[in-house]
């Protein structure tokens, strides 16, 4: 069964480039972005990890930690970090999980159950499903999931944008429209009556009876 939004993210213990972690303890009171990639020393993955390194401070400023994962062992990650820096100019300071026994990958439904129990001899194509993203909130619930094909690098600016939306909508009774960005107008949720909206969101606009827009709350 695939993991669904609002389910509790499965906890696990794993080795990382920064030592062993217990996932829920590592998250603590933060948000977390868990992203996986098919294999070390491959082209798309190299650009992706460099892109995340460039954005890590922006995620941290929003109270979010980032952590990578591949089915390669931690020792391989360590050697690969030099290539990521050479290609992107960004140093990877976030942890990367080593999952050579495929335990976390299967736990998070990134690989089929019959994938075996070892990464040894596996090609990037065999690991193709492992290009996923999970955003987990401080309550350890999954708030966003993404899965990309092998040939398509992810847009981590979009994940940052989605995080901005989730942070905002967790605090205020609003939703964000298509292509929303920080500072743009937002949608008043259906649970707010028109009378209440006059007080909470003065000056709001009614586009349709079911679509009311207002300035982004501060």
DSSP secondary structure letter of residue 31: E
| Mutual angle of helices 43-61 and 74-88, in 10-degree steps | 80
- Rounded CA gap, 140 and 23, in Å? 9
Secondary structure element (H or E) that encloses residue 148, with its range: none
pLDDT tens track for 179-205: 999 999 999 999 999 999 999 999 999
Write out the catalytic residue numbers. 45
CATH 3.40.50.720 applies to domain 13-152: no
| Residues with Cβ within 8 Å of residue 79, at least 6 apart in sequence | 40
pLDDT tier at 128, thresholds 50, 70, 90: confident
User: Would you tell me which CATH number, out of the four given (3.30.1020.10, 1.10.260.40, 3.10.290.10, 3.40.50.300), belongs to the domain 172-214?
Assistant: 3.30.1020.10
SS3 category, 105: helix
What's the average model confidence in pLDDT over 162-166? 98
What's the average model confidence in pLDDT over 1-9? 89
Q: Where in the chain is the domain with CATH 3.30.1020.10?
A: 172-214
Count other Cβ atoms within 10 Å, centred on residue 43: 11
pLDDT tens track for 70-118: 999 999 999 999 999 999 999 999 999 999 999 999 999 999 888 999 9
Q: Would the pLDDT of 170 be above 70?
A: yes
Q: Would the pLDDT of 34 be above 70?
A: yes
Whether the CB-CB separation of 67 and 34 falls below 8 Å is answered with yes
Q: Where in the chain is the domain with CATH 3.40.30.10?
A: 13-152
What's the average model confidence in pLDDT over 136-158? 96
Percent of the chain surpassing pLDDT 90: 91
- What's the pLDDT at 114? 86
What's the average model confidence in pLDDT over 23-38? 98
- What's the pLDDT at 3? 92
pLDDT tier at 2, thresholds 50, 70, 90: confident
Two structure tokens written together for 95: 């942890």
Count of alpha carbons within 13 angstroms of residue 192, beta-carbon side = 20
What's the average model confidence in pLDDT over 202-212? 97
- Rounded CA gap, 26 and 51, in Å? 22
Edge-to-edge strand list for the sheet holding 174-175: 174-175, 186-188, 211-214, 205-208
What's the average model confidence in pLDDT over 142-166? 96
Report how far apart, in Å, the C-alpha atoms of 154 and of each of 41, 51, 54, 103 are: 17, 9, 14, 23
What's the average model confidence in pLDDT over 163-180? 98
- What's the pLDDT at 218? 86
Comparing CA positions, the residue from 181, 204, 180 lying closest to residue 193 is 204
Q: Would the pLDDT of 1 be above 80?
A: no
């Amino acid at each position: 069964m695939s993991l669904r939004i609002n389910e509790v993210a499965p906890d696990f213990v794993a080795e990382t480039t920064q030592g062993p972690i217990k996932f829920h303890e590592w998250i603590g009171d933060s948000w977390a972005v868990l992203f996986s990639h098919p294999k070390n020393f491959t082209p798309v993955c190299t650009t992706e990890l460099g892109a995340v390194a460039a954005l890590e401070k922006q995620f941290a400023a929003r109270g979010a930690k980032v952590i990578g994962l591949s089915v390669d062992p931690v020792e391989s990650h360590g050697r690969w970090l030099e290539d990521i820096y050479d290609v992107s100019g960004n140093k990877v300071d976030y942890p990367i999980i080593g999952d050579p026994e495929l335990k976390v990958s299967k736990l998070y439904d990134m690989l089929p159950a019959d994938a075996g129990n070892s990464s040894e001899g596996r090609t990037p194509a065999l690991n193709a499903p492992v290009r996923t993203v999970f955003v987990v909130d401080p309550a350890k619930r999954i708030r966003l999931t993404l899965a990309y094909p092998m040939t398509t690098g992810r847009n981590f600016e979009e994940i940052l944008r989605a995080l901005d939306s989730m942070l905002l909508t967790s605090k205020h009774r609003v939703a964000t429209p298509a292509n929303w960005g920080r500072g743009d107008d937002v949608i008043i949720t259906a649970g707010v009556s028109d009378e209440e909206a006059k007080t909470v969101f003065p000056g709001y606009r009614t586009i349709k009876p079911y679509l009311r827009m207002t300035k982004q709350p501060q």
